[in-house]
């Protein structure tokens, strides 16, 4: 089992920045891919960004150039630096971790971009 605990969400004005963190704990040897997904009411979760154990990254088109994902393998933690935030970035952001053939989700953290 893997538990994921997210932090760092909140209310921010357009153009502002936030940093999300997600710490994994539990019984596992290593986490393969860690990532962030965003979900708004009535829509499916969409990939925001993910990162492999070796550092290979993948971003959703809408966040390229504004968001940066990183991870600390020693701490089993993934981060999402969100800059130049727009109102359309408003969503619940969920952390995801792939361990072996299993996929685990955090409880989600709300990010609201509004003036």
pLDDT in tens, 65-91: 999 999 999 999 999 999 999 999 999
In this prediction, residues 51-58 reach a mean pLDDT of 96
> Is the per-residue pLDDT at 16 higher than 90?
yes
Q: How many CB atoms lie within 10 A of CB 20?
A: 23
Token reading at 64: 């390229």
Contact 46, 31 (CB under 8 A): no
Which candidate, 96, 106, 31, 34, places its Cα nearest to that of 69?
34
- How large is the average pLDDT for residues 3-19? 97
Give me the DSSP letters along 37-102: EEE-TTS--EEEEEE-TT--EEE-GGGTTTEEEEEETTTTEEEEEE-S--GGG-EEEEEEEEETTE
* 114 contacts 13 by C-beta, under 8 angstroms: yes
């Amino acid at each position: 089992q893997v538990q994921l605990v997210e932090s760092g969400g909140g209310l921010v004005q357009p153009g502002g920045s936030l940093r999300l963190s997600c710490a994994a704990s539990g019984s596992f040897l290593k986490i393969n891919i860690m990532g962030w997904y965003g979900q708004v009411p009535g829509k499916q979760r969409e990939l925001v960004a993910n990162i492999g154990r070796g550092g290979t990254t993948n971003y959703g088109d809408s966040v390229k150039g504004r968001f940066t994902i990183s991870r600390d393998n020693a701490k089993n933690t993934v981060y999402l630096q969100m800059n130049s935030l727009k109102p359309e970035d408003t969503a619940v952001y969920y952390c995801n971790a792939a361990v072996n053939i299993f996929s685990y989700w955090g409880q989600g953290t709300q990010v609201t971009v509004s003036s």
